[in-house]
């Protein structure tokens, strides 16, 4: 879900839900941006309070969780979102006894955990630390947490892990890359090697289209692969280079993120997740 779609839902008047106007939306985005830039106790708690005051109902909370899924896939962004949701779960369990909010968050956590666990510069030890804290505090059933652990380990053992989503999250079909259509193709499909000659348009093509195509070729390095390079690569049916992905995974393996294992990543790093 993109930002515009989220705002439409949040601005909609709902019975038994707090009123949100445009100023309220601006306040929410400012709080969330502050948390993602500087994940301190104050920022986490301010964002948590706004969400609990305005998005405890099922419709808004679900929209918000879908919006979180579409944010940057950088490890720090995913990690801070998980911290925020952890703090919300702690509050609704120990202060409000609102298991409906907890259950909605639970259903959205696995994709976030996966994308964080396998993202660039991921710190898998920090994800495991979070799961251990949730288990110890009984935020979720132990069977649920064990299932999450198995899912993360299974995903890690895959030989070739591609991005879970191509294109613009929540966008219209005409905004997506053409490659998104490939899974719908039922006939035999072979990816086009990147060393193919430049496509030539017929003479009847308009001047504007020809100019646009020439500008694309002049600024793109898509066509700079040699035939020898391509021959050494393994491609899956969508055209992804398996060798390239494996090399990228090896390059970032073990790097982690400096400072990400210090609690919420701020000067209050000794504060356990979920503490009020």
Q: What is the CATH number of the domain that holds 67?
A: 1.25.40.90
Q: Which of 82-96, 169-183, 231-245 has the highest mean pLDDT?
A: 82-96
pLDDT at 153: 80
Both 145 and 20 in one domain: the answer is: yes
pLDDT at 97: 76
Handedness of CA 128, 264, 92, 72 (dihedral sign): negative
Both 139 and 202 in one domain: the answer is: no
**189-206 pLDDT per residue, tens:** 555 555 555 566 777 888
pLDDT at 139: 92
Residue 146: CB atoms within 10 A of its CB come to: 12
Q: Which domain holds residue 221?
A: 192-234
Element of type H or E holding 272: none
> 17 vs 271, which has greater pLDDT?
17
Both 96 and 200 in one domain: the answer is: no
Q: Tokens standing for 97?
A: 């006894």
52 domain-assigned: yes
Both 151 and 84 in one domain: the answer is: yes
Place of tokens 């991921």: 122
Both 152 and 202 in one domain: the answer is: no
Both 36 and 97 in one domain: the answer is: yes
pLDDT at 256: 46
CA distance 249 to 162: 11
50 domain-assigned: yes
264 domain-assigned: no
Whether residue 147 has pLDDT greater than 50: yes
pLDDT band at 260 (very low <50, low <70, confident <90, very high): very low
Burial class, 32, CB count within 10 angstroms (exposed 0-12 / middle 13-18 / buried 19+): buried
Both 115 and 41 in one domain: the answer is: yes
Both 113 and 38 in one domain: the answer is: yes
pLDDT at 271: 39
Query: Which one, of 62, 171, 77, 157, lies nearest residue 115 by Cα?
Result: 77
Q: For residue 235, list its beta bridge partners.
A: 241
Both 73 and 121 in one domain: the answer is: yes
CA distance 270 to 18: 34
CA distance 130 to 80: 12
Whether residue 79 has pLDDT greater than 90: yes
3-class DSSP state of 235: strand
pLDDT band at 9 (very low <50, low <70, confident <90, very high): confident
3-class DSSP state of 10: helix
Choose the final residue of a domain: 156, 171, 200.
156
Both 58 and 150 in one domain: the answer is: yes
CA distance 271 to 173: 44
CA distance 88 to 102: 8
205 domain-assigned: yes
Length of the chain: 276
Both 89 and 150 in one domain: the answer is: yes
**94-143 pLDDT per residue, tens:** 887 778 899 999 999 999 999 888 887 888 889 999 999 999 999 999 99
pLDDT band at 17 (very low <50, low <70, confident <90, very high): confident
Q: How many domains does the chain have?
A: 2
User: Are the C-beta atoms of 264 and 271 separated by less than 8 Å?
Assistant: yes
Both 104 and 217 in one domain: the answer is: no
């Amino acid at each position: 879900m993109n930002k515009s779609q989220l705002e439409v839902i949040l601005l909609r008047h709902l019975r038994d839900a707090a009123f949100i106007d445009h100023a309220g939306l601006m306040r929410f985005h400012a709080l969330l941006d502050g948390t993602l830039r500087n994940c301190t106790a104050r920022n986490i708690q301010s964002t948590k309070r706004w969400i609990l005051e305005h998005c405890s109902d099922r419709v808004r909370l679900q929209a918000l969780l879908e919006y979180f899924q579409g944010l940057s896939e950088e490890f720090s962004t995913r990690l801070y979102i998980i911290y925020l949701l952890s703090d919300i779960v702690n509050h609704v369990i120990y202060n409000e006894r609102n298991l409906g909010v907890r259950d909605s968050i639970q259903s959205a956590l696995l994709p976030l955990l996966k994308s964080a666990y396998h993202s660039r510069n991921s710190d898998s030890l920090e994800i495991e630390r979070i799961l251990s804290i949730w288990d110890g505090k009984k935020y979720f059933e132990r069977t649920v947490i064990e299932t999450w652990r198995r899912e993360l380990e299974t995903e890690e053992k895959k030989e070739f892990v591609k991005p879970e989503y191509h294109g613009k999250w929540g966008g219209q079909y005409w905004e997506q890359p053409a490659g998104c259509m490939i899974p719908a193709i039922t006939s035999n499909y072979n990816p086009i090697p990147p060393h193919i000659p430049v496509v030539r348009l017929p003479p009847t093509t308009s001047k504007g289209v020809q100019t646009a195509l020439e500008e694309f070729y002049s600024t793109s390095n898509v066509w700079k692969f040699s035939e020898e390079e391509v021959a050494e690569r393994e491609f899956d049916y969508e055209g992804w280079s398996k060798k390239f992905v494996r090399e990228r995974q090896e390059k970032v393996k073990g790097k982690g993120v400096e400072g990400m294992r210090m609690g919420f990543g701020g000067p209050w790093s000794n504060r356990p997740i979920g503490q009020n």
